[in-house]
Amino acid sequence: YDISTQDDRRIADAFQRFDKDGNGEITAEELQNIFTLVGERDRDGAFLTLDQVRTIIRRFDENDDGVLQFEEFAKLWMAKRRSAMSEEALRRAVVVCGYNEVGQQLCSLLDRANIAGIPYVAFARDAESISAGVTNGARVIYGDGASGSLIRAAGVEEPTAIAITYQEVDRCLRATACLRDAFPETPIFVRSDRNDAVKKLVQAGATEVVLTAGSVASGMGKLLGVRKDNRFAALEEDSAAALTLRNSASALYPSVTKESDGPVPDLKM
């Protein structure tokens, strides 16, 4: 998913064509016209309203000025392209369990990683989360993210990593155990609000536990190979980290079996 020279030219041509007044930025009104021209609709089949377009802009507006400069527009372009990700990218996509506040923040980080983003699929069971996914342009599927069979049915056969963002400890434990059984070699990163749950989560199969002492989404993003890019003040993929996550998990993180009573690795970030 690295951007190609051809992609770069197409994005530049599109930006110039849609920037009607040539001032180097695309407004919400201009972007709404773009979406209308290409037939973009919301979940009810209606064309996007100006408020919906402004919500989309906020996801990619790095400097919070309410408009899209070229780099920001390019990230939006590639996020839309990625929504129809290739079969191979889908097969190895990151799985995000839960599209709550933390899940949404994490998906936003993955969307903005590099200009092409890191492919992911999020799972949620409530209508509000699914609606938020549509508004945000995120790839969110209805269903239980703790189901390995559902994840595979969605086309993700060998996830690069799994991020579990549920707030409830019991739900995180169940999801961790189920997904560890379904994907024995895949790194599993779990959110936790409680220090006393860390050992149980690791014993259930978590590779790393991210505590809510700081930004959970940012902590998970770092584990998934997302880092700061000073050129664009955005996020890009650290391909070395992202590509070796699966192969290096056992070496980087000492295993703790469900039966182990030994010391738990220091997983707090």
CA-based angle 45:71:24, to the nearest 5? 90
Identify the residue with better confidence: 89 or 221. 89
**CA 242 – CA 37 distance, rounded (Å):** 36
β-partners of residue 64 are none
Q: What is the pLDDT of residues 4-24, one digit of tens each?
A: 444 567 788 888 888 888 899
Q: Return the pLDDT at 113.
A: 67
pLDDT-based confidence at 1, cuts 50/70/90?
A: very low
Token digits for 28?
């919400």
Identify the residue with better confidence: 139 or 40. 139
Residue 88 pLDDT more than 60?
yes
Task: Kindly report the average pLDDT of the chain as a whole number.
Answer: 75
- Return the exposure string of 146-161: e unless at least 16 CB atoms fall within 10 Å of the residue's CB, then b: bbbebbeebebeebbb
Cα 37 to Cα 20, 27, 32, 124, distances in angstroms: 14, 15, 9, 30
Cα 69 to Cα 8, 230, 257, 259, distances in angstroms: 15, 17, 50, 54
**CA 229 – CA 44 distance, rounded (Å):** 37
Identify the residue with better confidence: 200 or 242. 200
- Secondary structure of residue 12 in the 3-state scheme: helix
Q: What is the pLDDT of residues 124-150, one digit of tens each?
A: 988 888 878 777 777 888 888 999 999
Residue 45 pLDDT more than 50?
yes
